[in-house]
Structure 1
């Protein structure tokens, strides 16, 4: 094809084709790699930051020798259930069918991670809640929400899910942000004051991921405030909730000033990332054909150019 070009031009054309082909292949692969999982990761990171502020490592450690140990431990267990149940749209009959399954999954998760009778650091509970959320999202919603795009593409039925209207609608619902007061108006639970059985959600409009997590985090803050109040006020009677040998925990603790808002969390844009992934997959598919073809063409273009250069430099041969 390029035989009419001289040796120098063929080398320029050959290397240009090779470079362009490789850049196209790398770019299309990099576009597929993140997926909506990267948006979830950024959101999870912001949640983790808040949890670390709410329950710093070693600060709130439930004492296994406390008379209130079993009660408080059950409250913690119920928080996992509430976390899952609050994501169900109670107006959707299909989602409501999952309520018992979610409950069982949450209870089993807690027993697997905190079933032993030992001190429980609420910092560890927070980290476990994050892993629990990721597990629920991947198991009951979509593999793509908690995994890289490239893994999603090659997962079972991954492509059909990526291009489905259902996953787009779910992404849109998850990322939609409401006024927090309006969102919480539609969540019904048994409250915190005087509650010794843990949070029980009786109605929710479902997951709008930022609103839901703000609600949940503030519920955890209220629960810790109630537990800390009991710890301090009943401490004189020898009934302590947390391990507090130096009596550092008090009613002046910063937890009483803590409140999470929607501005504190990352706002994921799943639909834009999903659209980008869909486009990237097309380019990735094209690269599967273009890259080998480009390599072959560049090889044929460059073929014999080095040998011809040597012949030119050694006229005796």
Structure 2
């Protein structure tokens, strides 16, 4: 896991350069030369306000922008001097060449290197499932400790992916019954092929549409909140609450857009999520608190798992 943290840290300079390139190529640093609101700039220059907000969040995190009031943002002097089209001292054209000529060529290197007409790419669902396995090294000891403390006998893993969490935990807790739900058919098939534990079962389906006969002591939702809109997340948390037993606990593992740690990586990650067709903005601490209140559960713990990436473990307890 040390290497995963290392590479997260090493992506930060790239995120800063990406932000600078976007600021120069769209002249955003010039637009914010004087304190302005995101709403005004978006309306004035016909920009997507949500995506502009994400760019501003990254800019504040990496030190390219500064807050002048609750809503107004201003470019740092250095950005205006060196990364605006109006400045005679601008070096922004170098970034533009790098991002619009060099980097696209480098990203295409993979296809050019393999002498085939068409190279196979990893399906998104499988890629995310494999990425989630990397997080297990950090999260599993903490989840195992919680299950032991809760004296949990039944665990539901929503969006279980390849079932890695459950299978590792099933070996450590042979008396606990683990039930996984995975919406992607291919991922679910792979998970069942790899499952050799009698105390683990995995079903394919949409959690929101499924019925459950009995309540669970613990419900886990690991790295799935950003697949849903804010409205859908609330419905998801309410559904998870419904299948919990009284005094049962919900474990959320997710990056937070406004966590205390990993602000640079999280802000850029949030920009990616917002722009992606199949993803949604990261949840905030305020949103989690609101969902908990609406679902009649209590936030009992918020713990940083990977500070560099802004990943957190959040515990919700049913009243």
TM-score range, shorter chain: under 0.3
Larger strand fraction of residues: 2
**How does the TM-score come out when normalised to structure 2?**
0.21
> RCO greater where, 1 or 2, for CA within 8 Å and sep 6 or more?
1
**How does the TM-score come out when normalised to structure 1?**
0.21
Larger helix fraction of residues: 1
Instruction: Specify the structure having the higher radius of gyration (Cα).
Output: 1
